[in-house]
Structure 1
Amino acid sequence: MKKSTKKNRSITQKWSILSLPFSLTAVAFGVVSFFIPQSNSELAYVDVNKLLLGYERAKVDRETFTRKTSVMKANVDSLMTDWQNELKVYEKERASMTKKELALKQELLQNKQQQINNYQQVVQKQIEQEDQKMTQTVINDINDYVKAYGKEHNHLIIFGAQGNGNIMYADKGTDLTDKILEGLNKQYHGK
């Protein structure tokens, strides 16, 4: 019995001696893996402003929107120029007009000015609505892509940073902006 007890103690001592280096190695590995940034982090972020500026659909839509609004504003400017020309003519001919003609011309000019102002307000409202619609479409595209990307790459959360303090610091390894932007543009171009 003494022989088997000595043998058990000897085995236990050997395992104790061997388990210390294994334990230290495991702890060291755990510490190192905790502090080394992982590119496939469960928490990540994207720079929303960079996505909006770099997303090619946003650029194309913005150019189309700018051309369309330029035409609408040019129409308003043209109507305003016509009205100003009529006003100049009225100012020149006013001295030779009767009271009735003056009153009629003033009323016509006022009505035309009011119509131009109303049209200008309608155009401005239409421009704002189209801008909101275009922006929302682009944001929906980005959100849908980021959601799919997050699921595919096993991210628990992808934050949206805009440089206004909502993410004060993040390790560069958790920035998915360039990857998201590249995939978003590939998807837009159908690749």
Structure 2
Amino acid sequence: MNKLALPISILALLASVFLFFYSQSKSDLVYVDINKLVEGYDRTAKEREAFDKKTTTLKANVDSLMVNWQNELKTYEKERSSMTKKELKLKQELLQNKQQQINNYQQAIQKQIQEEDQKMTQTVINDINDYVKDYGKQKGYTIIFGASGSGNIMYAGDASDLTPIILEGLNADYNGK
């Protein structure tokens, strides 16, 4: 019995070492580069295109109002020598009020643009997060880290980077809808 115990224990030890290293070959610590996902995601480009069109329209409205106000100002400057004091005062007040309204409108537009940008970005981030979560569950990962270039992951081997795989699946999922 002793003669058999030694070879069996050596064989068990070798099998244990082999299984240990084999199980370590698939890393449970993986990550995705969030910036690359956002930039490479097809929905990002479509959302940005729609956002840019909307922004251009809103800015054109402000520019149009500014041009109209500047034209009124030029007209006022040409005609002011022939105006009475009362007409001058009224026209100045009117021009100041219009300028203030345009400034208020411009601030409101800037705020709207900023909110639209945040909404668009959040929509894209939510899509990515949902896909990565589902992917991680499906593939049995315990944790998938998100790197954003701000130092939260300083180094990881290429085998730990799921970015290309996630991006391909994310775009396939989006374009398949």
Which TM-score applies when normalising by structure 1? 0.85
Query: Of 3, 21, 26, which residue of structure 1 is paired with 2:15?
Result: 26
**What's the RMSD between the two structures over aligned residues?**
1.8
Residue 110 (str. 1) matches residue 110 (str. 2):
no
1: CA distance, partners of 2:160 / 2:85: 78
**What does residue 62 of structure 1 align with?**
48
Which TM-score applies when normalising by structure 2? 0.92
2: CA distance, partners of 1:167 / 1:42: 15
Deviations 1:93-132 (A, max 9, x none): 2122111111011011011101111111111111111111
1: CA distance, partners of 2:176 / 2:9: 56
**What does residue 155 of structure 1 align with?**
141
Secondary structure (helix, strand or coil) at the match of 1:182 reads helix
Which aligned segments of 4 or more residues in structure 1 are displaced greater than 6 angstroms? none
Q: 1:186 is matched by which residue type in structure 2? A: A
Secondary structure (helix, strand or coil) at the match of 1:167 reads coil
Query: Of 9, 12, 23, which residue of structure 1 is paired with 2:2?
Result: 12
**What does residue 181 of structure 1 align with?**
167
2: CA distance, partners of 1:156 / 1:27: 23
Query: Of 67, 70, 79, which residue of structure 2 is paired with 1:93?
Result: 79
Query: Percent identity, aligned pairs only?
Result: 63
Q: Once the 2 structures are TM-superposed, how far is the Cα of residue 60 of structure 1 from its aligned partner?
A: 0.3
Q: 2:22 is matched by which residue type in structure 1? A: S
**What does residue 3 of structure 1 align with?**
none
Number of residues of Structure 1 aligned to a counterpart in Structure 2:
177
Q: 1:76 is matched by which residue type in structure 2? A: V
2: CA distance, partners of 1:98 / 1:49: 63
2: CA distance, partners of 1:96 / 1:169: 75
